Amino acid sequence: MKKTLFSILLITFVSIGTYGQLTRNVGTSVTNRAGNELIPITHLRLKTIDKSLSEEDINLQKKKYLFYSYNEAAVDDYDTKAFVRYNIFDDEMEFVKDESIYYLAKEIGRKIRFINTNSIYKVFEFKGDLHFFKVHVEGENSLIAKQKVRYIEEKVAKSGYDRARPENYKRLNDEIYFAIGNKKLVKLSKKSKKEFFKSFGEKSSEIQKYVKKNKLGRKNIEDLKKIVTYYNTL
């Protein structure tokens, strides 16, 4: 028998009143779409939702996400599709089922592919925790990116010379990693050429020659894709 889809999920409880607010905020409800209905739930965790969010608060919360609307996605190798959105700030994949918001459980190797963009996210272990990374090159060794959003606290003007600043969420530049054997993650240096090539270990000299011959850059993601793709052929 095929293993259970999404074996462990974390649930966020949404009351009927809150769900009404949810559907207004995210647009068309995805609760009754077939893919979401078929997702089984085994483990639940209750979490309350703030019902008092103003429209301004909601617009602020949207900045946490890669995209705020739910998009069709394939998870692992299952036939069932879900409608998912990625909360970058909390590093959670969210979807709606039975009038509740769920967090997709993080398991090493779990893969989410968004159908409309064909972009892939995968769970890797990093510094003792599990995180979602965007996959640029998938193979024996992968090129992946950690997407980040930073919270900026509100600043109150203390004098007429100070400028007040509202609280905000700011999308940061992606951090690019080379996943050796898809287990050991090495951050690719943009500043140090020596450290960059050192990331490729005993094959660093071949990578250096390849980069020089093809006039590739260390900061361009398309060039990095070519470098890691070439590395996987060595």
Contact 177, 145 (CB under 8 A): yes
Contact 159, 171 (CB under 8 A): no
pLDDT for position 87:
94
pLDDT for position 131:
97
**Tens digit of each residue's pLDDT (9 = 90 or more) over 162-213:** 787 889 999 999 999 999 999 999 999 999 999 999 999 999 999 999 999 9
Contact 134, 147 (CB under 8 A): yes
Biggest alpha carbon distance in the chain? 69
Which residue ranges of the chain lie beneath pLDDT 70?
1-53, 97-99
Does one domain contain both 81 and 105? yes
Count of domains forming the chain: 2
3 part of a folded domain: no
pLDDT for position 14:
31
| Containing structural domain, residue 232 | 188-234
Does one domain contain both 193 and 123? no
